Structure 1
C-alpha cells in the first residue's frame, strides 16, 4: 500500500515514515497542504495521513479540497488537536478516522488496515482464495498448511492482486502502489517478483495477460467459505 503522509514536524514525519516503511508500506512524505494536493494529483494513494496544523493552508481545508477533487480512498487525520468539536468537524468533512498525537505506530498501522478493509469491502484480516490464506495484519501467508515466506514487495503484489481478483492489473499500477519516492525500480522488478510468487504459490496461481498485466482468476465461493470455516480457530 502506498501512503501519503502530510506532516510539517520534521522529527515526527521522519519517524512515522520510517516506522510505516518497516511495516511494509511505501510512504511519500510532504510538509504542506499545497504539496499534498499536488502529490495526490500525480500519484495513486490508498491512504492519506493528514495533519491539521499545517503551515499556510489548514489541513481541514485541504481535507475538503481532496474530497472535492475526487479522492475516495481513506483519509486519516493525525493531529494534536484533541477537542471533540475538531473530531466532529474532521469526520463530517470526510475523514475516515481521527488519531490524536502522540500516537503508537502499531495503533496507527491497525487503523490504516481498518480503513483499507472498509475500502475493499472486507470484514476481517483473513483472506482466503483457493488454498491460499493471508493474514493481512500479521503479513503471513499459507499454502494449505504450509507457511510461505514472502518479501515485502511480494506480499504487496499478492495482496493487490487478490483484492482485485478477476481484474487485470498492469505493471505500472503495481509499481505505482508499491514504490514511493526515491525508490529505484528496475524495469523488470514486477516480473521478477511475480516469478518468485509463482514458485512459492504455484505456477498457475497468477496469470500473465500478454502486453497487459497480471491477474488472479476468481475461485469458487465454496473454496473461500471452506477456507474461512477451517481457519476460524487458527491461532494467528
Structure 2
C-alpha cells in the first residue's frame, strides 16, 4: 500500500488537468465565440452582446443540431424556473439574428430552436 501511495503522491489532481473537450473558444464558419472573454466575432468583427444574448448563443452552439425548447434555453441561461419564460427567449433569439444573421439559429416550429453550423 505504501508503494501505491508513494507512486500517486506526485501525480496531478483532476482539477489541474485541462479538459480538451471544453475549449475556451468555439469556432464556426464566420463566427467565433470566446467563452472566457464573453465576446463573439462575426466575420472577424467583434459583436457586442448582452449577457442573455451571449449565453443563449453559447448554449445553442454547445449543442449543435439539437432542438432545444424555449424552456430548456431559459432554464440554462436565466437559471430560473421556465414556467414564466414567456417571450424572453424569442426576443433574445430575434436580437441575435439581427446582430449575426439568420443562418446560425433555426426555428423548429412547435419545438424550439437549434444551432446550425453553416
Q: TM-score per shorter chain, which class?
A: 0.7 to 0.9
- 1:213 corresponds in structure 2 to 112
SS at match of 1:128: strand
TM-superposed deviation, 1:211: 0.5
TM-superposed deviation, 1:192: 0.0
Query: Does residue 121 in structure 1 map to residue 18 in structure 2?
Result: no
Q: For the aligned residues, what is the CA RMSD?
A: 2.7
Q: State the Cα deviation string for residues 187-222 of structure 1 (Å, max 9, x = none).
A: 000000000000001023210000001011234xxx
Query: Does residue 178 in structure 1 map to residue 77 in structure 2?
Result: yes
Among 72, 84, 90, the alignment partner of 1:191 is 90
Select the structure with the greater relative contact order (CA < 8 A; seq sep ≥ 6). Answer: 2
Change (3 A) 1:201 1:180: same
Q: Is the 8 A contact 2:24 2:36 kept in 1?
A: yes
Alignment coverage as a number of residue pairs: 106
Structure 1, unmatched stretches of 5+, are 1-87, 99-113, 220-236
Q: State the Cα deviation string for residues 133-155 of structure 1 (Å, max 9, x = none).
A: 11110001010121100000111
When normalised by structure 2's length, the TM-score is: 0.77
TM superposition outliers: structure 1 runs of 4+ over 3 Å = none
Q: State the Cα deviation string for residues 65-85 of structure 1 (Å, max 9, x = none).
A: xxxxxxxxxxxxxxxxxxxxx
Structure 2, unmatched stretches of 5+, are 1-8
Q: Is the 8 A contact 2:74 2:85 kept in 1?
A: no
